[in-house]
């Protein structure tokens, strides 16, 4: 089957177009013919080697972390899916590989595709929607009447997080450039800050939750805008020892993560707030919850561009450049809707 694989970790490198064997299908697996695959910053970070201590892939590794497609075969223990089902998923971290014509995934990580979405839109959803769910619902316990600050509202995670937060009854503030004001307001943002000309720390006060996705300077400011007892969930770092333990990292890696995150954790304690680092995980049950919200019109995906499969490296470069606003998708099958 045709794939795009990573041969060595290197910044700004290209994936290799390669023919690889079709995946082996285990008893609990579904084999999916890939119609479309989402492209994420995570793909760039894995290629660059940012996670090689925590995600030690055996190279060459087929890349890709989002998928929408059709089930072609199921394992002996699979009960929830049959050949012909249209599905979508974020594969488990140990079984990535959606930049390919086929992928095998454990049934627990897969959900039926929303009926209201085409394959390209569906492929844009799993990783960012699961990130938003795990940050706002699972980690922060966001409730009706609370205030949440979602950084980078026009990004893949931001567009979903704004909609999910509004569904939960929260008041939402976000940052973006003026070109994105109309979009984030249409998604439900109540307070929109121009990150180019305004300092969000001077505008926002006593927030209950922050979903942090930017750099260190923004992290310090975000901790200060929280009320005492508030919660910051970071998807951009610094990763902490709890994350290392969850990933099953070696003791010295966990120690390193404890040291790297110590200043942030101390700062949070002084301010009386909570800091959590989130590396989202595959979860078919949560994806089914999100499917219901999508089909009910509560959440809609926002896609920037769809690239042909042959241009997967161009799609990666576009995401890496920072020019991508919203989600980027690769159409593995031609004429994907």
Domain ranges of the chain: 2-125+301-331, 127-277
48's tokens = 């660059």
As a CATH number, domain 2-125+301-331 is 3.90.180.10
Got the DSSP string for 299-334? ----EEEEEEGGGHHHHHHHHHHT---SEEEEESST
Q: Report how far residue 160's alpha carbon sits from residue 129's, in angstroms, rounded to the nearest whole number.
A: 6
Model pLDDT, residue 244: 82
Least confident segment among 5-19, 41-55, 100-114, 267-281: 41-55
DSSP 134: I
Q: Report how far residue 114's alpha carbon sits from residue 126's, in angstroms, rounded to the nearest whole number.
A: 11
219-271 pLDDT per residue, tens: 999 999 999 999 999 999 888 888 888 888 888 888 888 998 999 999 999 99
Model pLDDT, residue 252: 85
Q: Report how far residue 334's alpha carbon sits from residue 209's, in angstroms, rounded to the nearest whole number.
A: 41
Say whether pLDDT at 325 is over 80. Answer: no
The answer to whether residues 109 and 89 touch, using CB atoms and an 8 Å cutoff, is: yes
Q: Which residues, other chains included, contact 179 with Cβ-Cβ below 8 Å and sequence gap of 6+?
A: 325
Model confidence at 53, pLDDT cuts 50, 70, 90, reads: confident
269-307 pLDDT per residue, tens: 999 999 999 999 999 999 999 999 999 999 999 999 999
Q: Does domain 127-277 have CATH number 3.40.50.720?
A: yes
């Amino acid at each position: 089957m045709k794939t795009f694989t990573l041969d060595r970790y290197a910044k700004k490198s290209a994936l290799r177009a390669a023919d690889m064997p079709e995946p082996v299908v285990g008893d609990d697996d579904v084999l999916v013919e890939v119609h479309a695959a989402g492209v994420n910053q995570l793909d760039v970070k894995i290629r660059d080697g940012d996670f090689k201590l925590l995600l030690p892939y055996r190279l060459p590794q087929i890349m890709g972390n989002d998928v929408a497609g059709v089930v072609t075969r199921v394992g002996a223990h699979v009960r929830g899916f049959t050949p012909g089902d249209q599905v979508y998923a974020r594969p488990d971290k140990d079984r990535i590989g959606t930049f390919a014509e086929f992928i095998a995934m454990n049934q627990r990580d897969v959900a039926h595709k929303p009926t209201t979405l085409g394959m390209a839109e569906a492929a844009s959803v799993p990783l960012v929607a699961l990130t938003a769910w795990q940050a706002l619902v699972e980690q922060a316990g966001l409730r009706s009447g609370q205030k949440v600050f979602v950084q980078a509202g026009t990004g893949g995670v931001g567009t979903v997080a704004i909609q999910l937060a509004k569904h939960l009854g929260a008041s939402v503030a976000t940052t973006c450039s003026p070109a994105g004001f109309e979009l984030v307001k249409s998604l439900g943002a109540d307070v929109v800050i121009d990150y180019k000309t305004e300092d969000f720390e001077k505008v926002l006060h006593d927030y209950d939750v922050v979903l942090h996705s930017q750099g260190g300077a923004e992290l310090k400011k975000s901790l200060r805008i929280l009320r005492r007892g508030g919660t910051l969930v970071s998807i951009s770092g610094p990763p902490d020892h709890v994350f290392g333990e969850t990933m099953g990292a070696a003791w010295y890696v966990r120690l390193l993560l404890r040291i790297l995150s110590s200043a942030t954790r101390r700062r949070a304690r002084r301010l009386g707030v909570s800091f959590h680092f989130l590396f989202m995980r595959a979860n078919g049950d949560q994806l089914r919850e999100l499917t219901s919200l999508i089909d009910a019109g509560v959440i809609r995906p926002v896609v920037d561009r769809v690239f042909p499969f042959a241009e997967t490296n161009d799609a990666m470069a576009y995401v890496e450049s920072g020019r991508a606003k919203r989600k980027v998708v690769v159409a593995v099958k031609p004429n994907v809707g």
